[in-house]
Amino acid sequence: NAGVTQTPKFQVLKTGQSMTLQCAQDMNHEYMSWYRQDPGMGLRLIHYSVGAGITDQGEVPNGYNVSRSTTEDFPLRLLSAAPSQTSVYFCASSSKPGQGAGGANVLTFGAGSRLTVL
């Protein structure tokens, strides 16, 4: 089992460029999410999805778009990159809250994607 796979691992962008961070999971998880990790800020939720065709905003959604056309994939799009989006991005997935393991949605994380915007 590959778990959660994120690509690319590293990316450097110029201000104004667009790009997509890819996330794929092979665990048939319904719930998927994107977090960003910044020093002293912990992990902050960007967007999440509770199933194919359903997405919602998290704490810091501005400047990012997501879509969920399949259960396996949950790409994160940066529309016009800004230096403030320099961060490490993590994708995570779990079974649907309320199902399995006593209702606890234990997240499985990808290895992360380090993005630098110049």
Partner 1 sequence: AQSVAQPEDQVNVAEGNPLTVKCTYSVSGNPYLFWYVQYPNRGLQFLLKYITGDNLVKGSYGFEAEFNKSQTSFHLKKPSALVSDSALYFCAVRDGGYSTLTFGKGTMLLVSP
- Give the binding site for partner 1 (CB under 8 A): 4, 31, 33, 35, 40-45, 48, 50, 58, 90, 92, 96-97, 101-112
Q: Which is nearer to partner 1, 15 or 41 (CB)?
A: 41
How many Å apart are CA 56 and CA 12, to the nearest integer?
27
Q: Which is nearer to partner 1, 17 or 114 (CB)?
A: 114
Minimum CB separation of residue 61 from partner 1 in Å reads 12
Q: Which is nearer to partner 1, 85 or 105 (CB)?
A: 105
14-to-26, 51, 96 alpha-carbon distances in Å: 32, 33, 37
Minimum CB separation of residue 107 from partner 1 in Å reads 6
Type and span of the H or E element at 45: strand 42-51
Minimum CB separation of residue 15 from partner 1 in Å reads 26
Q: Answer whether 6's CB lies under 8 Å from 110's CB.
A: yes
